[in-house]
Structure 1
Amino acid sequence: MMVFGLSRAIRTSKKNAIIAELKVYSPKYGDLLRGRDPFEILRKYEEAGAVGISYITDPKYFKGSFEFFKKLCRETELPVLRKDFITTKEEIEKTAEAGGSAILLITRILRDRLPEFVDYAKEHGLDTLVEVHTEEELGIALTTNSTMIGINNRDIGKLELDDGNVSLTERLAPKIPRKFVKVSESGIATIEDLRRALKVADAALIGTALMKAEDPGALLKTFVEADL
């Protein structure tokens, strides 16, 4: 298990730090895998220079699988972020046991329990990506010992059916102290989006745009190597 591997990979990246998401399904766009081998896409992500891999294990809305997450952790040396609607400490333990490097903790869901969950995850060797979508949520996130704060440009309450854009990152990221790694999540589809996001954030998490592409690896490479 890589201890705090994702935040370190972002901090030490020489190129644009992109967490590439292996996203199999979107409530908005439907099937994103389209019969392709997810492990072939994983290899392309590795070759293109992703700093980490993200995967959503939620089965209900995103058709994810925890069993696949476990395989993913075994198949790559890159740090793997587990995204889900985490509500129990048992899920944190399972993520660490599976070989995950980081876990998403959503401020809107955990509220007062957030600091405790962050500490518990870190005790289990996991980086924590605390997700916020509003200024109020950011206020809660800043009270934690999280390694990373993620600004979700889309509203998770609307299950990504809204059209989020990086203006939310531009507004919230400057309010986050440097001790946190800042990640802009969702709504990044073009080099211009990426430029705006990385002007104020340390990394971008991109899933839908990559998976909608004919060649996810080629698009990721242009993002990673873009001169911003």
Structure 2
Amino acid sequence: MTFTDALLSAPRPVIMEVKRQDADGTGLLGARSVTDVVAAYEEAGAPCVSVVTGRWFGGSEALLEEVAASTRLPLLRKDFLTSQRQLERSRELGASAVLLTVRLLPGGVLSRLVDHALDLGLTPFVEVADAAEATAVPRAERCVVAVNNKDIATRERLPGDLDRSSTLLPAVRATGTRCAVSASGITDPADAARLLDAGFGGLLIGTGLLRAAHPAHWCAALDAARERPRGPGRIPGQTRPARR
């Protein structure tokens, strides 16, 4: 099953992330091993796992290799990938999908990397931060298109802006992608529920799950939030209409 199919067919489409530290350098694993974290994610029903190999977050290729040895779930390699060789290496290490960041890649390079990923059997997980970037995604119908709620210009050290997801969802849908994802900065299960109910096909959550008592407890809170009736249409970060 492809990364996209696994996510879209999941009753709870949450990509659960493994990363060693947050953007400020604070450790996130504590006394747990990588295998412990992956096992907890499987127990919580993760359809896919994201593995942060970027150095900002204490990552490495060895981390991806370790996670791949611990699970058969589809894996996303999350890093600033810019070359075809990095895509080939990602597949060798066990990835099923690869992060491609529109802000970092000129149009021609992005197009070539999307094509190469598809040729390798990898799902391009293309990250956007504004509407212009969404329109630049090539072959979007074969990609996951993800809104990054954090800003790479600040090394993702500031809180996530979930309003970005609510604003960009129509533009992401207009690309023709089968799967729109809201990624990063999601910590509250109630916010996660509203994003899914608004129409996102999946969420990518790392720090919120890694800091939870147990990912299964966080997911249970998400399920409960989705079952509660809510008012129409409001997504986290949206401004309420002014009273007249």
TM-score between both structures, scaled by the size of structure 1: 0.91
Pairwise CA distance, 1:143: 5.8
Q: Deviations over 1:119-142 (max 9, x none)?
A: 100100101110001122112125
Letter in 2 for 1:47: E
Pairwise CA distance, 1:145: 5.5
Among 11, 17, 23, the residue aligned to 2:19: 23
Letter in 2 for 1:11: L
Pairwise CA distance, 1:226: 4.9
Which residue in 2 is equivalent to 1:205? 204
Secondary structure in 2 matching 1:94:
helix
In 2, are the aligned partners of 1:183 and 1:203 still within 8 Å (CA)?
Answer: yes
Unaligned runs of 5+ in 1: none
Which residue in 1 is equivalent to 2:9? 12
Letter in 2 for 1:117: L
| 1:28-177 alignment, distance < 5 Å | 28=24, 30-59=26-55, 61-112=56-107, 113-141=109-137, 144=140, 146-175=142-171, 176-177=173-174
In 2, are the aligned partners of 1:153 and 1:184 still within 8 Å (CA)?
Answer: yes
Unaligned runs of 5+ in 2: 228-244
Q: Deviations over 1:32-71 (max 9, x none)?
A: 1122112111111001111100011112x11102012012
Q: CA RMSD in A?
A: 1.8
**How far apart in 2 are the matches of 1:23 and 1:174?**
30
**How far apart in 1 are the matches of 2:116 and 2:69?**
23
Pairwise CA distance, 1:213: 1.8
Pairwise CA distance, 1:218: 2.6
**How far apart in 2 are the matches of 1:201 and 1:146?**
16
**How far apart in 1 are the matches of 2:95 and 2:221?**
27
What is the percent sequence identity of the aligned residues? 32
In 2, are the aligned partners of 1:41 and 1:216 still within 8 Å (CA)?
Answer: no
Q: Deviations over 1:74-127 (max 9, x none)?
A: 221110100001111110000111121100000011131111101100100101
**How far apart in 1 are the matches of 2:106 and 2:128?**
11
Distance change (3 Å), C-alpha of 1:222 and 1:49: farther
Letter in 1 for 2:204: L
- Identify which of structures 1 and 2 has the higher relative contact order when contacts are C-alpha pairs closer than 8 Å and 6+ apart: 1
Distance change (3 Å), C-alpha of 1:146 and 1:116: farther
Pairwise CA distance, 1:173: 1.3
Distance change (3 Å), C-alpha of 1:221 and 1:195: closer
Q: Deviations over 1:128-177 (max 9, x none)?
A: 11000112211212565542101001112211112223211111112223
Distance change (3 Å), C-alpha of 1:6 and 1:132: same
Distance change (3 Å), C-alpha of 1:51 and 1:11: same
**How far apart in 2 are the matches of 1:217 and 1:192?**
15
**How far apart in 2 are the matches of 1:30 and 1:148?**
29
Secondary structure in 2 matching 1:154:
coil
Secondary structure in 2 matching 1:201:
coil
Secondary structure in 1 matching 2:105:
helix
Distance change (3 Å), C-alpha of 1:39 and 1:224: farther
TM-score between both structures, scaled by the size of structure 2: 0.85
Q: Which has the larger radius of gyration?
A: 2
Letter in 2 for 1:51: P
Secondary structure in 2 matching 1:151:
strand
